[in-house]
Amino acid sequence: MLSKLLYCSLALALSSAFCMKSKAAVDDYKTFNIGIGSVSTPLSYCGSVFSTERIFNAYGKNFALSLAHAYCIYLNLTKVETDLTAAGADPQLSSDILSTFGPNYYLAIGVQESGLSPNQSGCGYLQIDNARQDLSRSSQSTSIKAYCKFLSSIDHYGAVSGTNVCTSNIIKAYYDAISYQLHAPDIAIFAVNYAKHPEFSKPVNIKGHIYYFPAAHGMMRLIALYYSRGQWFTAANRVIDGNGNLSIESQISYSEGYGGKYIYQVPELYNQFDRLVKIGSVYTANISEKDVTKYLESLAHVYKQEVIKSGVSRAKELMRGEVYDFRSGSFYLIMNEITKSMLEASRS
């Protein structure tokens, strides 16, 4: 009876999502929009141009699903939605901030890290140095450590190698969630206050070229910086300590050195993907229960079989043989429920 009640509740939520999406822009973060097309990297890779179609053609729906799954992992492990509200963000500001951690964020990191191809050094599509040790040890200081213990037993190369781009997105999500929790809720407070400073949205001149980074991108830029320079990076911590009264640029200047460009490179790529979405150049696909099962089974380098089975079981329960538009609010809810089930199954 309880199971039936839960299913009916979710079904009602899915139905509401279809109706509400067109009425409420504040729900924008509850969709999976991925920009498809060519992007340039003026701040890295010598200004190369990359076509995202290539990687989607190579990995198909698995890659798109991994981007969506990573986003849901981040949202659920951080509880950042609640923190932003507590910090004074209204629903629209929360949506604007959270949207920057959607699939396009992971896609932007992928372009930045490897140009969407295997890294020549063999370090991985999304490189995380000493992943097993760093991730497991860092999580011991956070409120999500029970969900991250399994990371210490992961085969580092198998999980983040250039041939396993889907699992590398998942590992990246855990890294970002741990980075957030190490400094929570201060990061959320910073993000809200930062976004309320219109002067932090001013154009930035880099080598004669003008770049614009909305203040709502502050938290994305900070998390990207932690990924690049480490979770205790002093300059990044000074920005947080300023509670949003310090611009990132005032603490970290553009440089060609290691990590010195991340706060500019990643949001610039994100902006390009966001522009593709706005002109309708987006990833579209119908997602079936079989597609989800195939994707989840591809995560064997990360999760134990019982965790994967919990996700497959939840997908079967919720999808019931139906097909969903990848970009629909209803599929967001389904992927979110699958993610919750897998997180609980991996909890020690």
Residue type, position 35, single letter:
G
d(C-alpha 148, C-alpha 135), whole Å:
8
pLDDT of residue 86: 98
Outline where the chain has alpha helix (H): 2-21, 53-59, 61-78, 80-86, 91-99, 103-114, 131-139, 145-148, 156-160, 165-182, 186-195, 218-229, 234-241, 248-251, 262-278, 289-297, 305-319, 329-346
HSE, side-chain direction, 13 A CA sphere, residue 26: 8
d(C-alpha 275, C-alpha 228), whole Å:
25
Please check whether residue 321 lies inside any domain of the structure. Answer: no
pLDDT of residue 5: 46
pLDDT of residue 113: 83
pLDDT in tens, the chain (348 residues): 444 444 554 555 544 444 444 444 788 899 999 999 999 988 887 788 988 888 888 888 999 999 999 999 999 999 999 999 999 999 999 999 999 999 999 999 988 888 877 655 555 677 776 556 677 788 888 999 999 988 888 877 778 777 788 998 999 999 999 999 999 999 999 999 999 998 999 899 988 899 999 999 999 999 999 988 888 889 899 999 998 889 999 988 888 766 678 899 999 999 999 999 999 999 999 999 999 999 999 999 899 999 999 999 999 999 999 999 999 999 999 999 999 999 999 998
b/e code 51-75 from CB counts within 10 Å (16+ = b): ebeebbeebebbbbbbbbbbbbbbb
| Cα separations in angstroms, 235 against 54, 180, 230 | 37, 16, 11
Please check whether residue 265 lies inside any domain of the structure. Answer: yes
pLDDT of residue 85: 97
pLDDT of residue 57: 87
How far does CA 28 lie from the centroid of its chain? 15
Residue identified by tokens 């919990």 is 310
The answer to whether the beta carbons of residues 263 and 251 sit under 8 Å apart is no
Please check whether residue 293 lies inside any domain of the structure. Answer: no
Provide the domain limits for residue 241: 35-283
d(C-alpha 28, C-alpha 142), whole Å:
29
Asked if the bond preceding 42 is cis, omega within 30° of 0, the reply is no
| Cα separations in angstroms, 12 against 17, 158, 162, 322 | 9, 40, 41, 16
Tokens of 176: 């970002």
Please check whether residue 2 lies inside any domain of the structure. Answer: no
pLDDT of residue 170: 94
Domain count, the chain: 1
Query: How far does the chain reach from its first CA to its final CA, in angstroms?
Result: 29
d(C-alpha 163, C-alpha 181), whole Å:
29
The answer to whether the beta carbons of residues 15 and 25 sit under 8 Å apart is no
Please check whether residue 19 lies inside any domain of the structure. Answer: no
Please check whether residue 223 lies inside any domain of the structure. Answer: yes
Reference 200, options 186, 185, 190, 188; nearest CA is 190
Please check whether residue 341 lies inside any domain of the structure. Answer: no
Please check whether residue 24 lies inside any domain of the structure. Answer: no
Q: How many CB atoms are located within 10 Å of the residue 141 CB?
A: 11
Q: How many CB atoms are located within 10 Å of the residue 203 CB?
A: 10
